A and B are shown apart, each in its own frame.
Chain A
Amino acid sequence: MSEQNQAVHDRLAREYSAGFVTEIESETLPPGLDEDVVRAISAKKDEPSWMTDWRLDAFRRWRTMPEPNWAHVSFDPIDFEAISYFSAPRNKPKSLDEVDPELLRTYDKLGIPLHEREALAGVEKPQIAVDAVFDSVSIATTFKERLRDAGVIFCSIAEAMRDHPELVRKYLGTVVPVSDNFYAALNSAVFSDGSFVYVPKHTRCPMELSTYFRINAENTGQFERTLIVADEGSYVSYLEGCTAPMRDETQLHAAVVELVALEDAEIKYSTVQNWYPGDEQGRGGIYNFVTKRGACVGARSKISWTQVETGSAITWKYPSVVLRGDDSIGEFYSVALTHNAQQADTGTKMLHIGRNTKSTIVSKGISAGRSQNAYRGRVRMNPGATGARNHTRCDSLLIGDACGAHTFPYIESRNPSAVVEHEATTSKVSDDQLFLCAQRGIDPEKAVSMIVNGFCREVFRELPMEFAVEAGKLLEVSLEGAVG
């Protein structure tokens, strides 16, 4: 290894600024999982009986399912009996004004505004409505009234079940069926909260919506469920952010996100995932085993996933699109950065069913330290997908010699008129690039961050402006010490 790259490595010791713990009284179920726990969760949420049955059905199926073992990751078996499946702050607020100040300070520290202050005179800042999920429950949702005026429903999924049961019942589990996979089944049994969005016909959601997930409690799993329905001709852009305290024990996060786009509707879903990645030795961190899928149900609908993944000890995540409607469009733009002992197996699935459906996949994997970073993508053209097209571009960037990048593309085409294109490259942050920067006076840390940001450019430009800036900074922090 060259001197410069050695220095990069020495300084890759990252700082995780969201790693603090909030001291707050919580109500937590004892560890372990059986039908009584599932019933207890359902009862805590005052759910209707159909929902309790739905959960129990999921639980029974989960019990019979094997854990997936095909991903390019390795970890000790998870003891599902050692996890607590529900934790919530004891004082549940009824309105924004009642939110525990300690919680408000937590979100303030994380830079998430849980207030609805109007834009300061002269400063036009785009407003973002936030649903804040703390451990197992949603603690606050902002700008609800303004959204309601536009007809948009944005609330926690628990509230939606109470106030809009017909919508939840109609769509929940239609995109990710209860028995889709091991973690999705587990989530269906025990999910505690998450966000619900419904955008009515021909409505453009007047602001960005976002959910901010925060794991705080120890030894608890976090299982959120997000459901977004965009009715005919509507548009919504949705952002998701995540952080967790630094702890020595690993924590399980198994979320399910379902998106439904009806005719001519468009959903743009962006994630900046910064769960605690564990320490340099690979102790602690979040196991992020997430099922995200969107269904382009209607003709000419569009679903676009953009993700920036820098956190988690292990990431297992394949945001996918089922392209059912004719002329529908699916997109996946991803940056996944792994460092130290992190492992990521992430990618997407594009399932082309309708005619003239189109999908675009742009994946940028960055590996540093001893980390392993795999892209896994499946593109399937069904017999009816006449005129369908996919373009996949998959780039890997290596920093140092101890990390690994892997690409697993699966292509299945059952329609001769469908076109599937796949490009893949692997490159390194080269000593020559670092020396060029140094010779121009740019210090190695700044140089690496600039080179990595350049590598991610195509993905960052898909993010909403404010998120793009945040993502750039996040990469910079994550790569702190990447060169010397």
Chain B
Amino acid sequence: MLQIENLHVRTDGRDILQGVSLTVERGEVHAVMGPNGSGKSTLANVIAGRPGYEVTEGAVRFDGIDLLALEPEERAHHGVFLAFQYPVEIPGVSNMEFLKAALDSRNAAAGEEELSAIDFMRRARGAADRLDLNPEFLKRGVNEGFSGGEKKRNEILQMLLLEPTLAVLDETDSGLDIDALRIVAAGVNAYASPDNAVVLVTHYQRLLDHIVPDYVHVLVDGRIARTGDKALALELESNGYGWLADPAS
């Protein structure tokens, strides 16, 4: 479904990704790990089409389409979802209004009918409930005054409602206490299916105790230094990233 080939990305005059190749198929869960500053968020952002990154080499295809040629909203309409590492606030715009606008534009792009307000409310409440969020939460401004944990749960709420085919979750586990982590993991596990794929970006292995990945990739200095299974994450936990740093080793 997602093919990343030899991706080189530059931002602010610095080469951040230096030849990343990665293939993700439906039904798979991938974890991308790596030290701070290794380019994990850059990879996630480039997949989603965030402005400010220059792709100097390589390609990203999604179900055969050249993803890099699409506007961010078109990528979203094709089923690409990014849960943000740092969700921004949109004061005065209620979560509900925002979610409805997102769902409406996705449905419109797919030529589907607009969801009625009642059906929408039912689904939004259901999703909030699954994430143990008070329904009042839907009336608050998008991320406005939310705690760190609430912001992350709100990202997952959006994922559950938008039902993407590719969900890239950037450090969704950071800032969550153990209970919230369990709730979020349960939400992701319930969502993951043979029809979609999840890419978990994290630098802690603790998330992987709750969401078990099929593949673990380690990003070091803009390259995938190693790919393995869950055992690799445990190895990183005890040995750190240092032993992977030198590409020659």
Verify B92–A430 contact, CB threshold 8 A.
no
Measured in the bound complex, the distance between the Cα atoms of B50 and A4 in whole Å is 10
Q: Is A18 an interface residue, CB under 8 A from the partner?
A: no
Q: Is A446 an interface residue, CB under 8 A from the partner?
A: yes
* Residue on A nearest B161 in the bound complex, by CB: A440
Q: Is B109 an interface residue, CB under 8 A from the partner?
A: yes
Verify A440–B162 contact, CB threshold 8 A.
yes
Q: Is B76 an interface residue, CB under 8 A from the partner?
A: yes
Measured in the bound complex, the distance between the Cα atoms of B75 and A4 in whole Å is 16
Measured in the bound complex, the distance between the Cα atoms of B106 and A450 in whole Å is 16
Given contacts A431-B51, A435-B51, A450-B98, contact A443 B105 (CB under 8 A): yes
Chain A residues packing against B (C-beta within 8 Å): 2-4, 430-433, 435-444, 446, 450-451, 453-458
Further pairs besides A450-B98, A454-B91: 4, Cβ < 8 Å: A437-B73, A441-B77, A450-B97, A456-B92
A442 contact from B50, B75, B88, B102, Cβ within 8 A: B102
Interface residues of B: mostly helix, strand, loop or mixed? mixed
Verify A439–B76 contact, CB threshold 8 A.
yes
Q: Which residues of A contact B73 (CB under 8 A)?
A: 437-439, 441-444
Given contacts A440-B158, A441-B105, A442-B101, contact A455 B92 (CB under 8 A): yes
Verify A441–B109 contact, CB threshold 8 A.
yes
Q: How far is the CB of B140 from chain A (nearest CB, A)?
A: 12
Interface residues of A: mostly helix, strand, loop or mixed? helix
Given contacts A439-B48, A442-B73, contact A454 B88 (CB under 8 A): no
Measured in the bound complex, the distance between the Cα atoms of B93 and A451 in whole Å is 7
* Residue on A nearest B82 in the bound complex, by CB: A439
B88 contact from A436, A441, A446, Cβ within 8 A: A436
Verify B92–A436 contact, CB threshold 8 A.
no
Q: Which residues of A contact B76 (CB under 8 A)?
A: 438-441
Which of A431, A454, A455 has the largest count of B CB atoms less than 10 A from its CB? A454
Using an 8 Å CB-CB cutoff, how does the interface string of B51-86 with A read, 1 for contact, 0 for none?
110000000000000000001110111000110100
Q: Which residues of A contact B98 (CB under 8 A)?
A: 437, 440, 450
Measured in the bound complex, the distance between the Cα atoms of B52 and A4 in whole Å is 10
Q: Which residues of A contact B89 (CB under 8 A)?
A: 433
Q: How far is the CB of A407 from chain B (nearest CB, A)?
A: 18
* Residue on B nearest A440 in the bound complex, by CB: B102
B91 contact from A432, A435, A446, A455, Cβ within 8 A: A455
